[in-house]
Amino acid sequence: MEAPDGDERRCRAAAAGRPAAPAELSELRQAGTYLVDDRGRIIEVSAQALRLLGRTADELLGRDAHDVLHRGRYGESLPRSRCAMRQPLIAGRSGQGELEWFERGDGTLLPVSWLLTPCGLGGGRTGSLVIFYESGIAEPARREPESASASMSELDRLALLAETTTILTASLEVAETLRQLVRLTVPLLADWAVVDLLTEDHGVSRAVVAHHENGGVIHREDLQGPMPPVPEESPMPLSRALRGVTATLAGPETYRGTPDSHIAVAQRKLFQATGMHSACIVPIRGVREVVGALTLGRADQPGAFTTTDLLLVEDIARRAGLALDNARLYERQRRVAETMQRHLLPQLPVVPGVRMSARYVPAPRASQVGGDWYDAFHLPGGGTALVIGDVVGHDLDAAAGMAQICNMLRAYAGAQRESPRTVLDRLDLAVTRMAQTTMATVVLAHLERAGDEGWLLRWANAGHPPPLLVEQDGRARFLEAGHGPLLGTGLRPARADAVIELPPGSALLLYTDGLVESRAHNLDEGLGRLCRRAAGLAGLPLDALCDLLLDDVRPADNDDDVAMLALRVP
């Protein structure tokens, strides 16, 4: 048995929420093994399985084994009704199979034989162990003369539509929805997939041109991009589909005559470049309006599309339209919230001798809009207020709550000179009286002169990650004093101020949890990473320090906003 290295041991760790099993999966020299729970999710995988599949542990752990691995003989997404492993998995019994196909990390197919057997996972839970090995088939993806869709039964078609609904509605991002649409239709129904989308300014953009080749999907970016406008009266198939009129069967002969518009010229060039001999062109309809058009074409696959195929593609496009409509609504929501957040973020005040810098990075996903903000303003009687905050939640309500809390905090702190804890107590009371239930974390700090050359920091913390102080010589520490509960809980905690004299040349960093935390990275690990990296960058200018911390510390899988406020005293 081969001794696993560190990465191999890590790949056997259980997915989120489940500790690693006491006994690791055995390493078989020619067979891969993986363990699934009773829902079919992969929770352990052997190093040999990773080598056979050409994948990393992160690509498999926690994922549904059917969705990520199982494919038909042409690489098509396999409906669960046709999955040979589902029956023994659901029934909790052993099973085996041959001439099945797994998808490798590079998109090629691995012909496998497999054995599945139930096993206990501890704590009364059950799962199944899957052992698979590469079968000796030379060319798994070679096509038979008949196209894959021609042999589909009515049950297979219904299963495909059900699978389409489940997969396409699982994402709220346009790009991911289009990727899944291609995966569901190519090469099962066609070897070319083209998606034209109507833009918000009433134009047309060719968003996807994808081709199945050598077991994988290749995107032809040279054929993508802006398209000519849609003529109002054109009888050509693509123009009619983009107007939401009807679905049509088409071929290269459809565009051999004199084109009636520039978009017809573009479509003729598409048929010439792809070699399609048969195509279905159908509208993609949303709830209120047409979203675009889907073209599925056959160039390498034999057989022309039939009216039965056209009805199936129409149903698929209808489901895609609903998913794309939802994704676009979420993207509009995000743009509205992000615009509001950016307009609320202030211009940093000028404080003689003190350098200040700030950053705001919106969430990378359209469905994740947070309530992160920073603020800085002059206080009555002298001194400067520093604020960093985060409203709980990731939606438009969180962004709206952020706007209210930010403005109330400014009003309370700027009305009269009061300590940070007193201002937070008043703000906490106001938050609990808001019509919309809202909770938030916030740090409020006062920067004041201490004598002729020193600087004093007085702060109170309501449930927020602690500020980081980085001294000129590279020593870094978190300011954990003055910590209390977050705002909006309904409790009335006895808050306390904390005070420190800032060392000459030191930098202070206020930040939100998106900088240090994500679904796969806990807060303690992120704080340690931030402290170490900031210490190593202590001598850099403040702007460079902020940029490098965002690049190096922020988790790659982050799906939250990030706000940062930094200053350096002389």
Residue 34 CB-half CA count within 13 A: 32
Domain membership of residue 141 (yes or no) is: no
Q: Is 383 found in the same domain as 276?
A: no
* 487 DSSP assignment: B
Task: Kindly report, residue by residue over 126-180, the tens digit of the pLDDT.
Answer: 889 999 999 865 444 444 444 556 557 777 778 888 888 888 888 888 889 999 9
pLDDT of residue 279: 95
Domain membership of residue 430 (yes or no) is: yes
- The 10 Å CB-count burial string (b at 16+, else e) for 262-284 is ebbebbbebbeebebbbbbbbbb
Q: Are strands 476-478 and 125-134 parallel, antiparallel or unpaired?
A: unpaired
Could you tell me which residues come within 8 angstroms of residue 364 by beta carbon, excluding any fewer than 6 positions away? 558, 559
Q: Is 465 found in the same domain as 378?
A: yes
Residue 22 and residue 98: Cα distance in Å, rounded?
31
Q: Is 349 found in the same domain as 231?
A: no
Q: Is 155 found in the same domain as 112?
A: no
Please say which residue of 334, 364, 380 terminates a domain: 334
For helices 307-344 and 396-415, angle between their N-to-C axes, nearest 10 degrees: 0
Domain membership of residue 340 (yes or no) is: no
Q: Which two tokens stand for residue 265?
A: 């010229």
How much is the pTM? 0.53
Domain membership of residue 284 (yes or no) is: yes
Residue 500 and residue 283: Cα distance in Å, rounded?
65
CATH number, domain with residue 275: 3.30.450.40
Domain membership of residue 113 (yes or no) is: yes
Return phi, psi of residue 295, to 5°.
Answer: -115, 120
Q: Are strands 204-213 and 192-198 parallel, antiparallel or unpaired?
A: antiparallel
Q: Is 254 found in the same domain as 221?
A: yes
Q: Is 248 found in the same domain as 365?
A: no
Could you tell me which residues come within 8 angstroms of residue 440 by beta carbon, excluding any fewer than 6 positions away? 371, 389, 390, 391, 392, 401, 402, 405, 431, 462, 486, 487, 488
Return phi, psi of residue 492, to 5°.
Answer: -125, 75
CATH number, domain with residue 502: 3.60.40.10
Residue 320 CB-half CA count within 13 A: 31
Please say which residue of 290, 314, 334 terminates a domain: 334
CATH number, domain with residue 78: 3.30.450.20
Range of the domain at 200: 149-334
The tally of domains found in the chain comes to 3
For 28-47, give the DSSP string.
-SSEEEEEEETTSBEEEE-H
Q: Which two tokens stand for residue 131?
A: 């052992």
**Residue 140 region, left (φ>0) first, then alpha (ψ -120 to 50), else beta?**
alpha
Residue 163 and residue 184: Cα distance in Å, rounded?
8
Q: Is 164 found in the same domain as 117?
A: no
Return phi, psi of residue 443, to 5°.
Answer: -115, 125
Domain membership of residue 539 (yes or no) is: yes
- The 10 Å CB-count burial string (b at 16+, else e) for 305-324 is beeebbebbbbbbbbbbbbb
Q: Is 517 in contact with 555 (CB distance < 8 Å)?
A: yes
pLDDT of residue 550: 93
pLDDT of residue 313: 93
pLDDT of residue 144: 41
Residue 45 and residue 11: Cα distance in Å, rounded?
6
Q: Is 401 found in the same domain as 325?
A: no
Domain membership of residue 127 (yes or no) is: yes
Q: Is 221 found in the same domain as 74?
A: no
pLDDT of residue 208: 96
pLDDT of residue 344: 65
Please say which residue of 75, 109, 134 terminates a domain: 134
Q: Is 102 in contact with 70 (CB distance < 8 Å)?
A: yes
Low-confidence ranges of the chain (pLDDT < 50): 1-23, 138-146, 366-367
pLDDT of residue 162: 85
Return phi, psi of residue 277, to 5°.
Answer: -105, -15
Q: Is 290 found in the same domain as 311?
A: yes
pLDDT of residue 138: 46
Q: Is 160 found in the same domain as 88?
A: no
pLDDT of residue 342: 65
Q: Which two tokens stand for residue 28?
A: 């078989």
Q: Is 389 found in the same domain as 524?
A: yes
* Cβ-based neighbour number of residue 556 at 10 Å: 8
Domain membership of residue 139 (yes or no) is: no
Containing H/E element for 115?
Answer: strand 109-122
Nearest to 278, CA basis, from 312, 300, 251, 313: 251
